Chain A
Amino acid sequence: MITISINGKEIRLEKPMTVLEAARSAGIKIPTLCWHEQLEKYGGCRLCLVEVEKMPRLQTACTLMVADGMVIRTETGRIADVRRGILEFLLINHPLDCPYCDKAGECDLQDLVEKYGPVTGRFKEKKRKVPESLEDPVIVRNMERCIVCTRCVRMCEGVQGASAIAVIDRGGHSHIEPFSGGRFDCEYCGNCVSVCPVGAIMSKLHRHSYRPWQLVDEVETICPYCGVGCTLVVQVRDDVIKRVVPKLGTVVNNGLLCSRGRFGYEFVGSKERLTKPLIRIASKTHDASRVTHNEIFREATWEEAISFVAKKLEEIKDKYGSDSIAGIASPRCTNEDNYIFQKFMRTAIGTNNIDSTARTGFAGAQNFIENIFGQGATANIIPGLSNSDSVLVIGGDPTAINPILGLQIRACSRKGGNILTIGKVKGLRFFNPVSLKPVLYTETVLLEGIVTALRERIGLPGSNPNLEAGIKDINISDGEIEKTCGIKGNDFTMFMKILSESSTPSIVIGKELVQSNSGNYKLLLIAAINYLINGRIYLLSERANEQGLLDMGCAPDLLPGYRPLTFAEFRRKYENSWKTSIPDKVGFSIFEMMDAAKEGSLKALYVMGENPVFNLPDARSVEAAMKNIDFLVVQDIFLTETARLADVVFPALSWSEKDGTFTNMERRIQRLRKAVHREGMEDWRIISEVSKHMGVPLNYSNPEDIFNEVSKVSPLHRDMTYEDIEKGEAVYPYKGEPLRGVSEEIKFQVPSSKFQVSDKKLYLKLERPLFHSGTLSTKAPALVNIYPEAMARISPDTAKSLSLGDGDIVRVSTKIGSLELPVSVDKELDNSSVLLSNNFEGKGAFSLMEYTLDSVTKAPCIDYNEARIEKVNI
C-alpha cells in the first residue's frame, strides 16, 4: 500500500502508478497536452508539472512514479506561473484562428489558455506561416496550429502500427508530415485525428459545417461494417451525420477506429438512396444495367406495393407450394430484422428455405469447428488476443478484414508475443512475423506437416478421440514440406519451436482458407493444431451481424438459438411458442436456391438487404438464375444489381436510422441506436406488414418487443433484455442452457488428388481491401476517394514481363468472362496471383470466378481460377 497526499488529500494506492494516474483516480485534474491514456508516456509538453515536497524542482506528473509518503501539490502560484509561461511559448506560433478552426470548443489548448494562459504575448516577431495541406482526400493538416505534442505520431507508431507520420525538421520548424509527402497514403484509421489536442490534424468530412457544441444529438451505436462490432459515437446535426468518433473505455475498440468505421458513414445520407417502393414495369429480358431505373420501375405507394407482394406470394404458395419460395437474409440487418424474416418465412410462407451470404464461409467454418470443440469455440474475446504469447494467422489479413482485431495482434507483438503467419500477411509485415510462405495452393501439405511435427513434439493428449482418429494417420516429413511447399527446414523448425512452446496461443482463421479447395480438411488440420497447442480460435467475420444472423435462425437447418431443425423436440418448442407448424424439411442453402432458380423450380425469392447477384461467386450465372425467378422481392437501401432485377423493391431504413441489436464475432450483443430520422420503414416492419396482408399477423411495436420474444424462445438469449445489453455484459450464453456439445463424428474429406499448379500461370484471387466492405462502402465518398476504383493488383515481375505500369488498362480474363481494369503493381504480391476486389459495381472479382462447393462446409471454393492478363491499347 502506497500512501501519498495530493493537494492535502490522502490517497491510498494498491499498485505503483504515475502521479498523474493517481491524481486522476482521486478525481484531481492535472492539465496535460501530450499525455493520452492510450499512448506511451512522453513528458514533452511540461504542462503537468507539479510540486513535490523535498524535490527541488517541479516534476512532470505524467512520468513521475509515486513513492510512499509523497506530498504533491498540483495548483500553486509557482505552478500557474510556469504553466502560463509554457502556454505563452506554445502561442508564439499558434495562429489563434479559433473562430475559423473547427476544433474550437473542444480544443485542449483553448481550454488551457482560457484557464492559465497569458493575457498577451510578448513575442513581437512574425508567426510561422505554413499553408494548410489539403492534398489528402480525408485528412487536413494545418501545421500552424500544431503544438508538436507528438500524440499523433505515437498513436500511429505505437498503437495503430502504421508508422505513417513523423516529426519533420527541428526546433521552431518542427511539424508533422506523412512519409509519403502531402498525401497520407496510410491505413487511414484516423486515430491521429481523434488524439490531436488542437486543430492540426482534422477530418475533411463535413469540414467547416459544424462546431462541436452544435452536435447536440450524440448517439452511441455499433459500426455497420465488420464483425468486430466497434462502438461508435455518431454525432448528428439536423439529421445529418456530421462525424463518427470513438469512445474511450468501450469494451471492444476502446477509443480506436478503422477507416471504414470512421469515414464510411456517408452512405446514410446518399442521394442514391431509395425513397419509395418500386414496382417493375419493364420485362425481365431487358439488360437492366443499360437503362435508368425510371424505365424499369414505377413508383408505388407502400400500401400498393405491400398488398401486391402479399397477393403474389399467396398465389405462388397456393400454386407451386411453399417450398417454391425462398428468402435471403442479411448480415447487415439487425438481429430483430433477421428474426422476423425467418419467422415470416417459416410461418407465413411455411418453408425453411432461408439462407444468407454467411454461407460463403463463416457459417460452414463455424459449424465445422463447433462440431469438434463444442459451441462457442470460435467466440473468443477480441482484446484477449493481445495477451496471447503467440498468434497464428492463416487465410487472410486480419488487419484488413477486421482492422481492430488486427490491432490486437499488433499489440500482442509489441508486448513480446510471436506472430506466426502462413502465407503473406501484408498488415503484419512490420511486426516480426515468422512467416511460412508455401508455394501456391500447397497449404494442405504444410498444415499436415505442422500437425505431424506437433504430434511428435507434444503428443496426443487423448481428450478428443474423434479428432485424434482423424489426424493419427497424417504423416508428412520435413523433407516433404521442403520439397512440396518450398519451405526451408530451418524456417519450419523455428516456426514449430515457437508454436509448440507457446502456452497461450491463438489462431486467427481468415475466409480465404475456408473458401479454398478441401477447405474442410484444412479446417480439420487447423482444429488439430489448435487442439494440440491448446489455443483459442478466432474466425474472422466480414459483415457486422453474420453471427447474429445465424443465432436468429436464418439458416436452412437451424432454428433461432442454434437449435437444429431436424430435432422434432426443438421444432415442437418453437411450434408451441409461435402457435403454428414448422416444416420439418431442411431448406435450400443459398447455392441450392440458385440451382433451383436455374432449373425453374424456385418461383419466388424474397431478398432482404443482400445483393446476391454481386456477392456470390460466378455472379453472371447468379444473375441468369435471378432472371429466371418469377417473382423477386428486394428490400434494400440502394438500387443494387439484384434490386434492378426485382419485381418489387422496398426501400429500407439503414444503419443509424433504426434501433436494434448486432451480435459481433465474440458473441457480444450490442445495441444499435437510431441517430437520424428518415421517412420509411425498418426491414422488420415491412416484413410484418407483408405478413399481415397474408393473414399471418406479426404484431410488434418496436425492436424491443421482438428481442423480448427472442429472449423467451431462444435458449441462448434466455432472459436477456435491452437493459442487460446496455450494460455491455451481454456475451451469450447469457443465463441460458449449456451450449450444444461436440458431435459424435467429424465429417471431413481428405483431398483425393492434388491439383497441379503451374508456375507460369496466373491465378485470380480475391482482394479483401481495408477500405471497402461489400458494395456499401462504395457509396461512402470518403472511402471511394481513398480507394477509388477496382484495380487488378499484380506483382512487379508480372508487370515487368507484360511491360505494364501503374494505371495501364488491362483485360483480365478467366474461363467465364473478362473485365477491363487499371493495373496496380503491388510489391508484396507473389508472381502467380492477380488480386481483384469484389466491391465496385460492374467490376467485381466474383463475376470472373468459378466455384465448386465444399462437400462439408458448403462454402464455395474460389481458388484455382486461372486468369490471363493482356494489355489493352486505347
Chain B
Amino acid sequence: MKTGKEFIKTIFFVELIKGMAFTLKTLLFTPPVTRRYPNKVKVPAQPGFRGLHALAKNEEGKMKCVGCGLCGAYCPSKCIYIYTSEGEDHTKVVDRYEIETPRCIYCGFCVEACPFGAITLSEHYEYSTYSRDSLYMTKDKLLENWDKYFAGEKGKRYFRDFWRPKTTDFKGYEGQAMFKGNKNEK
C-alpha cells in the first residue's frame, strides 16, 4: 500500500524531473571527458609504449636477428613465423621473419626473449588500415619500421631505457646460467 505522499510524487513525475534536471546541468555546465581523436587531439605515446614491431639494425645497418626463434617460441599467441636456411658460407640466414600483427597481444615477451635485441616494439600505434594483408608484417616491412621509428638516437635510447634482455641483466634464481653477449668478444 502506497502512502499519500508517494502517490502524489508518482502523479506529478517528481523523480523524473529531478533526473532530467541533473542531466541538463551536466550537459550544459561540465566539460566533456572524451577527447576528439584523431581530428583534434593526438596524444603521443609514452616512451616504452608497446606498439608496432620493428626489427633492429646494427651500426652497419644490417639486421641484428640471427633467427634463433626464441621470440616465436615465447609468443603466447604464436604469431611470429621465422624461416631460416643455410647460407652460402654455411651460416644461418633468416629468409623470412613475419609477424601477424592482428593476432599480436603486445605483451612484449618477444622483446624480452631476444638475446640480441633484434625485435623491438615501437611507440607507433596508428596503423589501422582497410586490408588485412598490410597488417601482415614481413621482414622487409619490419626492417623499414626500424628506420621509421627508431632512427638515430631514438633506437639507442630505447635499448638504454627499455631493453632488459636476459643476456645482460637477468636476475633469475640462484645458480642460473646465462648467455654472455657475443661469442667473439674477448
Query: Which residues of A are interface residues toward B (Cβ below 8 A)?
Result: 80, 84, 87, 91, 95-100, 104, 113-114, 116-120, 126-127, 132, 134, 207-211, 213-214
How long is the Cα–Cα vector from A116 to B175 in the complex, in angstroms?
6
B180→A96 contact, CB < 8 A: yes
Size bin of chain B's contact surface: 20 to 34
How long is the Cα–Cα vector from A214 to B115 in the complex, in angstroms?
18
How long is the Cα–Cα vector from A136 to B81 in the complex, in angstroms?
31
Given known A-B contacts A100-B92, A120-B180, A214-B69, A209 and B83 have beta carbons under 8 A apart? yes
- B177 / chain A contacts, CB cutoff of 8 Å: 87, 91, 113-114, 117-119
B68→A208 contact, CB < 8 A: no
* The 3 nearest A-B residue pairs measured at CB: A117-B177, A99-B68, A208-B92
Given known A-B contacts A119-B176, A120-B180, A209-B84, A134 and B90 have beta carbons under 8 A apart? yes
A211→B180 contact, CB < 8 A: no
Mark B53-79 against chain A: 1 for CB-CB distance below 8 A, else 0: 000000000000011111011000000
A-B contact pairs, 27 of them (CB 8 A): A80-B175, A84-B175, A87-B177, A91-B177, A96-B183, A98-B68, A98-B179, A99-B115, A99-B116, A100-B66, A100-B91, A114-B176, A117-B175, A117-B177, A119-B177, A120-B178, A120-B180, A127-B183, A132-B90, A208-B84, A208-B91, A208-B92, A208-B93, A209-B83, A209-B85, A213-B69, A213-B73
Within the complex, the shortest CB–CB distance from A81 to chain B, in Å, comes to: 10
Mark B153-174 against chain A: 1 for CB-CB distance below 8 A, else 0: 0000000000000000000001
Within the complex, the shortest CB–CB distance from B151 to chain A, in Å, comes to: 26
- B25 / chain A contacts, CB cutoff of 8 Å: none
Closest to B95 in A: A209
A99→B66 contact, CB < 8 A: yes
B86 within 8 Å of A (CB atoms): yes
- B70 / chain A contacts, CB cutoff of 8 Å: 99
- A91 / chain B contacts, CB cutoff of 8 Å: 177
Query: Which secondary structure dominates where chain A touches chain B?
Result: loop
Most-contacted residue by chain A among B73, B90, B174, B175 (CB, 10 A): B175
B68→A104 contact, CB < 8 A: yes
Within the complex, the shortest CB–CB distance from B73 to chain A, in Å, comes to: 6
Query: Which secondary structure dominates where chain B touches chain A?
Result: loop
- B115 / chain A contacts, CB cutoff of 8 Å: 99
How long is the Cα–Cα vector from A209 to B87 in the complex, in angstroms?
10
B36 within 8 Å of A (CB atoms): no
How long is the Cα–Cα vector from A210 to B67 in the complex, in angstroms?
10
Q: With contacts A91-B177, A99-B115, A99-B116 known, what are 20 further pairs, Cβ within 8 A?
A: A95-B183, A98-B68, A99-B66, A99-B179, A100-B92, A114-B177, A117-B176, A118-B175, A119-B175, A119-B176, A119-B178, A120-B178, A207-B90, A208-B67, A208-B84, A208-B87, A208-B91, A208-B93, A209-B85, A210-B84
How long is the Cα–Cα vector from A96 to B67 in the complex, in angstroms?
16
Closest to A124 in B: B186
Most-contacted residue by chain B among A98, A99, A116 (CB, 10 A): A99
Closest to A80 in B: B175
- A104 / chain B contacts, CB cutoff of 8 Å: 68
Within the complex, the shortest CB–CB distance from A171 to chain B, in Å, comes to: 22
B178→A211 contact, CB < 8 A: no
How long is the Cα–Cα vector from A207 to B83 in the complex, in angstroms?
12
- A116 / chain B contacts, CB cutoff of 8 Å: 175
Closest to B89 in A: A134
B:22-72 near A, CB below 8 Å: 66-70, 72
A211→B179 contact, CB < 8 A: no
- A87 / chain B contacts, CB cutoff of 8 Å: 177
B:114-147 near A, CB below 8 Å: 115-116
Within the complex, the shortest CB–CB distance from B132 to chain A, in Å, comes to: 21
Closest to A116 in B: B175
Within the complex, the shortest CB–CB distance from A782 to chain B, in Å, comes to: 14
How long is the Cα–Cα vector from A564 to B83 in the complex, in angstroms?
56
Within the complex, the shortest CB–CB distance from A214 to chain B, in Å, comes to: 7
How long is the Cα–Cα vector from A277 to B90 in the complex, in angstroms?
39
How long is the Cα–Cα vector from A116 to B174 in the complex, in angstroms?
9
Given known A-B contacts A99-B115, A113-B177, A211 and B92 have beta carbons under 8 A apart? no
B68→A211 contact, CB < 8 A: yes
Most-contacted residue by chain B among A114, A126, A132, A208 (CB, 10 A): A208
Within the complex, the shortest CB–CB distance from A431 to chain B, in Å, comes to: 37
- B175 / chain A contacts, CB cutoff of 8 Å: 80, 84, 116-119
How long is the Cα–Cα vector from A113 to B186 in the complex, in angstroms?
22
Closest to B66 in A: A99
- A214 / chain B contacts, CB cutoff of 8 Å: 69, 72
Closest to A134 in B: B90
How long is the Cα–Cα vector from A214 to B179 in the complex, in angstroms?
22
Given known A-B contacts A84-B175, A96-B183, A211 and B86 have beta carbons under 8 A apart? no
Within the complex, the shortest CB–CB distance from B93 to chain A, in Å, comes to: 7
How long is the Cα–Cα vector from A120 to B180 in the complex, in angstroms?
8
Within the complex, the shortest CB–CB distance from A651 to chain B, in Å, comes to: 27
